[in-house]
Chain A
Amino acid sequence: QVTLKESGPVLVKPTETLTLTCTVSGFSFSNVRLGVSWIRQPPGKALEWLAHIFSNDEKSYSTSLESRLTISKDTSKSQVVLTMTNMDPLDTATYYCARMGLETYDYDAFDFWGQGTMVTVSS
């Protein structure tokens, strides 16, 4: 079955760079319509889409955060990596990776989500 699992630091200091890894299983990046996004959710607040990478390595970023984000993938390891520079306490959130599947691609919808990883930004 399809699973995604996020990993990364629980705590980062302001101005540091955050690196998160999403390890996927149950599907491969063999179809160009498949892709993975990163989405975050501050405590008690709404979801916010951050970045997306397609099987063919095409990438999209949130316009408001584009200058701080880099998304990449390692197909051999079935991993998608997100880096976010210059972290701020306002970036404290649960970070999710989610798959955009073959049936949901046309609607920018995410059919499978990881459990999320909570990242706190504090000195």
Chain B
Amino acid sequence: SSELTQDPAVSVALGQTVRITCQGDSLRTYYATWYQQKPRQAPVLVIYGKNNRPSGIPDRFSGSSSGNTASLTITRAQAEDEADYYCSSRDSGGTLVDVIFGGGTKLTVL
């Protein structure tokens, strides 16, 4: 199966913009999905598809993709954005559903 690679940790100054990346061969074919996970909480969907945000997710969050790399961009970073961020995508397996996750990126807002 494929793998998704993320930087373990990223930091951003309050109010600035940060890009969190995810690399993997599956991203050449499938869109990345992004989840936010705060300590001791379940993941929350923030971006799916080309650049879709579920209801309630601020428009400061956006997604993009190029080649084998997907990116989650957070503009005007807020203290509450400090969390772990996981990318996922469909794997190239033949099953109906076959999801792989990246290792996660810990975002620190300074």
Q: Chain A: residues with CB nearer than 8 A to chain B?
A: 35, 37, 39, 46-49, 52, 54, 58-64, 96, 98, 100, 103-104, 106-111, 113-116
Contact = CB atoms under 8 A, between A and B. Distances in A.
Interface of B: 1, 30-31, 33, 35, 42-45, 48-49, 52, 54, 86, 88-90, 93, 95-104
Given A47-B101, A104-B48, A116-B42, A60 B95 contact: yes
A48 B88 CA distance: 10
A46 B31 contact: no
A96 B41 CA distance: 11
Contact of B99 (A108, A111, A115): A108
Contacts of A104: 33, 45, 48-49
Contacts of A115: 42
Contacts of B89: 108
A106 B49 contact: yes
Given A37-B97, A108-B89, 19 more contacts: A47-B43, A47-B88, A49-B98, A49-B100, A58-B96, A60-B96, A60-B98, A96-B43, A103-B48, A104-B49, A107-B31, A107-B49, A108-B30, A110-B43, A110-B45, A111-B54, A113-B42, A113-B43, A115-B42
Contacts of B103: 46
B86 A35 contact: no
Contacts of B31: 107
Contacts of A107: 30-31, 33, 48-49, 90
Find the residue from A54, A59, A113 having the highest chain B CB count within 10 A: A113
A48 B97 contact: no
B77 to A, nearest CB: 23
Q: Which of B30, B98, B103 is packed against the most chain A CB atoms within 10 Å?
A: B98
